[in-house]
Amino acid sequence: ELKVEQNPLFLSMQEGKNYTIYCNYSTTSDRLYWYRQDPGKSLESLFVLLSNGAVKQEGRLMASLDTKARLSTLHITAAVHDLSATYFCAVDEETSGSRLTFGEGTQLTVNP
Amino acid sequence: DAMVIQNPRYQVTQFGKPVTLSCSQTLNHNVMYWYQQKSSQAPKLLFHYYDKDFNNEADTPDNFQSRRPNTSFCFLDIRSPGLGDAAMYLCATSLGDEQETQYFGPGTRLLVL
């Protein structure tokens, strides 16, 4: 059974600071996704990582994937309040008609 | 432009009273999914359709059923809702190729009284 673990689960940080969220998974996969969820809202796709060494950046967020270590990171640079949300990583086990297993989520609060 | 649409956004039902949640998509995607997300938890896949092929997760209760009458629509039927079924239900779609980004609808929040 695929297990996906995120840490930390709760993160409170000051604006302007940097931090990294980690996502570990238990089986071989080269397809990993990051989603953002605001309170009471649906999931918004942030990044799709489809190969070992993949790095994607959008604004203050950068995601990377190391399939050998079974690890993905979501790095936050110079955080701003608008980044406050819950961030989920999800791993795809299958090659067609994806079946995602989500991590527990990291609840990020950026304080002014 | 709305791509994955869920109706209703909020649904209140009584314990044991059947309820149907609706999802439609304008993306012409092959795959449609239903997730259950309880408060402060990760989304949990209930089942998905690849075209007309239905794929049930092993631990999805029999109380949950789904129908996909055509490419655009997919329904989640809860035959006898219990208090533990109160959750956000998320519909998602994907194309069904190598780029398997799933696009999520806004969700239906179900309350069981």
Convert the pLDDT of each residue in B2-24 to its tens digit: 699 999 999 999 999 999 999 99
| CA–CA min distance B100, chain A (Å) | 6
Facing B45 at nearest CB: one of A88, A95, A99 = A99
Q: Does B45 touch chain A (CB under 8 A)?
A: yes
Q: Please, which pLDDT band fits residue B99 given cuts at 50, 70 and 90?
A: low
Q: What separation in angstroms does the CA of A34 have from each of A39, B59, B69?
A: 17, 25, 31
| CA–CA min distance B92, chain A (Å) | 9
Q: Please, which pLDDT band fits residue A97 given cuts at 50, 70 and 90?
A: low
Mean pLDDT of chain B: 92
- Give tens-digit pLDDT for A35-79: 999 988 889 999 999 888 889 999 999 999 999 999 999 999 999
Q: What is the pLDDT of residue A77?
A: 96
Please enumerate, as own/partner, the contacts of B39-47 that have beta carbons within 8 Å and a separation of 24 or more.
B39/B87, B40/A105, B41/A104, B41/A105, B42/A88, B42/A102, B42/A103, B42/A104, B42/A105, B43/A43, B43/A88, B43/A102, B43/B90, B44/A102, B45/A99, B45/A100, B45/A101, B46/B76
